[in-house]
Amino acid sequence: MQAVQPMSGFRLLEHTADIGIEAWGPTQSNLFEQAALGLRHLLVGTSQVTHNQQHQVHLDAEDAGELLVAWLNEIIFLFETQNLIPGEFRVERTNENELRAVIHAEPYTPERHVVEHQVKAATYHQLSLEQGSDGWHARIYLDL
């Protein structure tokens, strides 16, 4: 008997020097949220986040794959430059070329947050993003 895959989620993919995220969801917005949750897990594992700050995100790109890379790189940028630990993600709108979202976060505190991986960037290496009859699926690799 084959296990039933949930409607949305993510899993981490082992790679020689990097690490990947495979994400899926019934909608493109949900897929982007799941990919962001996968990145959050890589950054800080199960550290608790109080969500006391909101960061509005508006991104434009040539296609949905480029948009996914830009979305994850925006989260990495906030983590690296503003020391914000992402907690929750609400993708309000996404299509082939545009994303509008809210990232709920809190400032990094060494006493409360454990950094699991130093992620440099989301990459185009083996990037895949497609819509199928059962929803959206993506695979993206991150440079550590």
Q: What is the pLDDT of residues 67-105, one digit of tens each?
A: 999 999 999 999 999 999 999 999 999 988 999 999 999
Q: What is the pLDDT of residues 104-131, one digit of tens each?
A: 999 999 888 889 889 999 999 999 999 9
Cα 100 to Cα 15: distance, rounded to the nearest angstrom: 30
In the chain the first and final C-alpha atoms are separated, in Å, by 37
Q: What is the pLDDT of residues 3-51, one digit of tens each?
A: 445 688 887 777 666 899 999 999 999 999 999 999 999 999 988 888 8
Q: What are the DSSP calls for 74-117, one per residue?
A: HHHHHHHHH-EEEEEEEEEEE-SSEEEEEEEEEE--TTT-----
Q: What is the pLDDT of residue 29?
A: 97
pTM exceeding 0.95: no
Cα 144 to Cα 140: distance, rounded to the nearest angstrom: 13
